[in-house]
Structure 1
Amino acid sequence: MSHETPRSLENDGHRTVVWRERDTVRLQARSGRDVTAVWMDLALAAFDMLPPGTVLDGEAVIYAHGRIDFGAAQSRALSTPARARRLAEELPAHYTTWDILLHPDHGDVRARPYDDRRALLAALLRDHDVQPPIQLVPMTDDPTVAMTWYQQLPEQGIEGIVAKRANSVYRSGRIWRKIRHAETVDADVVGYTGPAARPRALAVQLPNGRIALTQSLTAPLAAQIAVHLAASGPPRRARTPSGETYASISPFGLMAEVLAGTTRQAVVTVTRLRTT
């Protein structure tokens, strides 16, 4: 493979690292939080099919009505273990993997170039006959193929495509360049306005460090955030740099995805929430 930038599909799910250990499987969110209990169907599949000593990076996704459904994945991620089991019976999860961190025969491979890791990952899945719900994310170095994906797959729930240098070593965090139909950025939720049981807007810390209030939340978003605010502790009164007041809370692993084009303004637009 050349050192051109690989293009891969960006599925609309939850970033998850799968650890296949000798006697068990652990699933971790991007923040390192253990999420095995809510993705137990994936943990069982990984235990059955992956060899011990394997660590994969990818996304937990859910298909509903013929497309990838982020709302269904979010509902699973925010549910209790008991409710997650019920949801798994209705809509089983899939795990789409794009990288390998630990290989059972080669050990820690994070310092190897991405094209080497991709080859090791593909060979491991093939040699161990790994089948869905665990699957390899398609990838191409052909810009024409990537553009075809970008233009034709949104109706299937594909957010866009992501790109990374083929000779890149593995680093945690957001290291792929995303090319989405609607460009967004993630912002930490640090507060809210209105009552905690039905917040009117969020206070978010943008990637540049600025704290801003969002536009009014839709009823579904308000209901989602209210569940988290109930356990976030007593708020403190604070102000944004522009003087707007809000109830400040310590960051607790919830992020708001906001339209990138709105972040330069005093008010930002929330498209959805993400847990870390």
Structure 2
Amino acid sequence: MLDAEGRGWAAEPKWDGFRAQLAVWPGGRVLLRSRQGTDMTASFPEIRAAALAQLPADTGLDGELVVWEHGRLAFERLQQRLAWRGRGAAEGAGQWPAHFVVFDLVRADGADLTGWPYERRRAALEALFTDHRLEAPLTLCPSTTDPAVARAWLKWTAAGLEGLCFKRLDQPYTGGVRAWRKYKVRTTTEAIIGAVTGTLEPPRTVLLGRYDAAGRLQYVGRSTTLSARLGRALGDVLVPPAGAYPWQGWTFSAGWGTQRTLDIVLVEPAVVLEVAADVARDGAGRFRHPARPHRIRTDVEVGQVALFGEF
């Protein structure tokens, strides 16, 4: 938490979206690109239009693209938006409009500000929003040096906020996030083991499920690599499925944003595992990031696990 970081640090909310850089060049050229350099301008015409209308030329911003749906950040809608171009992008902007949450100013009036300390860049960023009356879909990311304010932001996790980022006030701009400290909110919950990667003795990771209201086992996410101790313990209790299995023929992605699929071994869905999962979920409540396994819950029956879609 902020009070543990000591003086000289600022805290910002950590958003569940796409890290992106937005630049307006002289002559009306706009570029919205990912941290990896992918040009995303055509997929988000509402951000391009706002940049042209509101930002002075020769301005560079760093921030996070986010989409809201039903009062929560919807990362999967961002992924859909990224794949759309032309007419599809315009339709996507109407259905799932994006916001660009700005947390840094790296170029202003043609001057490179990356060597400035965070505190000075932050003051210039706030002045930019005030002087040019910037408004949605351009949004100023909150920043604070007050531990009480930072702790209050953690209540926003119900809306999909992942946690907090900490940045030194005297730190120059760096393109990555290695110089930042991150605090992610995790919740402890239970899920049913439906498959594993590796072998049954011992498994490497587990695939987790929950039953929906109709009694169908739905996939909710994957674990991080199991410890040797937990892997051996699970190898003693997991068995192949006894009959028809709901995930027979299914394929599972190795992660968000990859086409690689997992080789899995199905197991009888009879073992409950307690895991720690962060708050990044899709609209159905699936874990977007691997959950950390804690322990086998022999005291919890499968029927006692929360239903699919319950957070």
TM-score interval, normalised by the smaller of the two chains: 0.5 to 0.7
**Is the CA contact (8 Å cut-off) linking 1:11 and 1:61 kept in structure 2?**
yes
Matched, 1:172 2:175: yes
The answer for the alignment partner of 2:24 in structure 1 is 20
Matched, 1:32 2:48: no
What code does the residue aligned with 1:145 have?
V
Matched, 1:115 2:104: no
The answer for the alignment partner of 1:59 in structure 2 is 64
The answer for the alignment partner of 1:44 in structure 2 is 49
The answer for the alignment partner of 1:131 in structure 2 is 135
Unaligned runs of 5+ in 1: 184-199, 204-212, 236-255, 263-276
Distance in 2 of aligned mates of 1:93 and 1:130: 15
**Is the CA contact (8 Å cut-off) linking 1:12 and 1:159 kept in structure 2?**
yes
Residue 32 of structure 1, CA deviation: 0.9
Provide the TM-score with structure 2 as the length reference: 0.60
The answer for the alignment partner of 1:140 in structure 2 is 144
What code does the residue aligned with 1:173 have?
G
Residue 67 of structure 1, CA deviation: 2.5
Matched, 1:86 2:91: yes
What code does the residue aligned with 1:162 have?
C
**Is the CA contact (8 Å cut-off) linking 1:96 and 1:134 kept in structure 2?**
yes
Residue 66 of structure 1, CA deviation: 2.0
Give identity over the alignment, percent: 31
Residue 259 of structure 1, CA deviation: 3.7
**Is the CA contact (8 Å cut-off) linking 1:182 and 1:259 kept in structure 2?**
no
Q: Relative to structure 1, is the Cα distance of residues 261 and 224 closer, same or farther in structure 2, using a 3 angstrom cutoff?
A: closer
Distance in 2 of aligned mates of 1:14 and 1:226: 12
Residue 202 of structure 1, CA deviation: 9.1
Q: Which is greater in Rg? A: 2
Residue 117 of structure 1, CA deviation: 0.4
Distance in 2 of aligned mates of 1:202 and 1:47: 49
**Is the CA contact (8 Å cut-off) linking 1:3 and 1:167 kept in structure 2?**
no
Residue 72 of structure 1, CA deviation: 1.5
Distance in 2 of aligned mates of 1:91 and 1:102: 29
Q: Relative to structure 1, is the Cα distance of residues 202 and 117 closer, same or farther in structure 2, using a 3 angstrom cutoff?
A: farther
* SS of 1:111 mapped into structure 2: coil
The answer for the alignment partner of 2:298 in structure 1 is none
Residue 36 of structure 1, CA deviation: 0.7
**Is the CA contact (8 Å cut-off) linking 2:256 and 2:288 kept in structure 1?**
no
Residue 71 of structure 1, CA deviation: 2.0
* SS of 1:164 mapped into structure 2: strand
Matched, 1:100 2:105: yes
What code does the residue aligned with 2:176 have?
G
* SS of 2:134 mapped into structure 1: coil
Residue 84 of structure 1, CA deviation: 2.7
**Is the CA contact (8 Å cut-off) linking 1:3 and 1:166 kept in structure 2?**
no
Matched, 1:8 2:9: no
What code does the residue aligned with 1:161 have?
L
* SS of 2:9 mapped into structure 1: coil
Distance in 1 of aligned mates of 2:114 and 2:256: 39
Provide the TM-score with structure 1 as the length reference: 0.67
Unaligned runs of 5+ in 2: 1-5, 188-194, 199-203, 209-218, 222-250, 262-286, 294-311
* SS of 1:153 mapped into structure 2: helix
What code does the residue aligned with 1:15 have?
R
Q: CA RMSD in A?
A: 3.4
Q: Relative to structure 1, is the Cα distance of residues 85 and 215 closer, same or farther in structure 2, using a 3 angstrom cutoff?
A: farther
The number of aligned residues is 213
Q: Relative to structure 1, is the Cα distance of residues 222 and 48 closer, same or farther in structure 2, using a 3 angstrom cutoff?
A: farther
The answer for the alignment partner of 1:73 in structure 2 is 78
What code does the residue aligned with 2:90 have?
R
* SS of 2:116 mapped into structure 1: coil
Distance in 1 of aligned mates of 2:256 and 2:185: 29
Query: Residues 116-265 of structure 1 correspond to what in structure 2 (within 5 A)?
Result: 116-150=120-154, 152-175=155-178, 176-182=180-186, 215-216=206-207, 218=219, 222=252, 229=259, 258-259=289-290, 261=292
